[in-house]
C-alpha cells in the first residue's frame, strides 16, 4: 500500500504540472487515468460514521481523556486501519472528543 500511495503522489504531482503547463492534453488524460487506476488498487479509506465509531472505540480502549493523548489515539487509529483513514477528519473528531 505504501508503494502505491507513493506512486499516486508522484503521478498526481506530475499531473498537476501537466495541467499547469496546459500543452499536452493526451498526457494529462493519461496521467489522470493512471491516478484513478492506482487509487482503485488501495482499500477504501475509513471515513464518516465508521471512522467516528472507530475513534470512540480507540479512545475508550486507551482511556484517553485529554488532548495530550491525541498522538496515541491517532497512532492506534493508524494501526487499526493500516493507515487507511481520513487523517484530517480524524484529527478534527479526536480533538473535539478530547477536550
Residue 22: its pLDDT value, please? 82
Closest CA to 77 of 62, 58, 96, 93: 58
Closest CA to 94 of 47, 44, 59, 50: 59
Q: Which three cell numbers stand for residue 58?
A: 480507540
**Planar angle of CA 33, 39, 40, nearest 5 degrees:** 90
For the segment(s) 48-97, the CATH number from 2.60.40, 1.10.510, 1.10.3470, 1.10.10 is 1.10.10
Domain locations in the chain as residue ranges: 2-41, 48-97
pLDDT tens track for 31-68: 999 999 998 998 888 889 999 999 999 999 999 999 99
pTM greater than the 0.75 cutoff: no
CB of 14 within 8 A of CB of 27? no
pLDDT digits (tens, 9 = 90+) for 7-39: 999 999 999 998 888 878 898 999 999 999 998
Do the beta carbons of residue 73 and residue 98 sit within 8 Å?
Answer: yes
Amino acid at each position: 500500500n505504501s508503494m502505491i500511495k507513493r506512486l499516486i503522489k508522484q503521478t498526481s504531482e506530475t499531473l498537476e504540472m501537466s495541467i499547469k503547463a496546459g500543452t499536452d492534453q493526451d498526457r494529462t488524460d493519461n496521467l489522470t487515468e493512471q491516478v484513478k487506476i492506482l487509487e482503485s488498487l488501495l482499500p477504501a479509506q475509513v471515513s464518516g460514521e465508521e471512522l467516528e465509531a472507530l475513534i470512540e472505540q480507540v479512545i475508550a480502549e486507551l482511556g484517553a481523556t485529554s488532548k495530550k493523548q491525541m498522538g496515541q489515539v491517532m497512532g492506534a487509529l493508524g494501526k487499526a486501519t493500516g493507515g487507511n483513514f481520513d487523517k484530517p477528519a480524524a484529527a478534527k473528531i479526536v480533538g473535539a472528543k478530547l477536550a
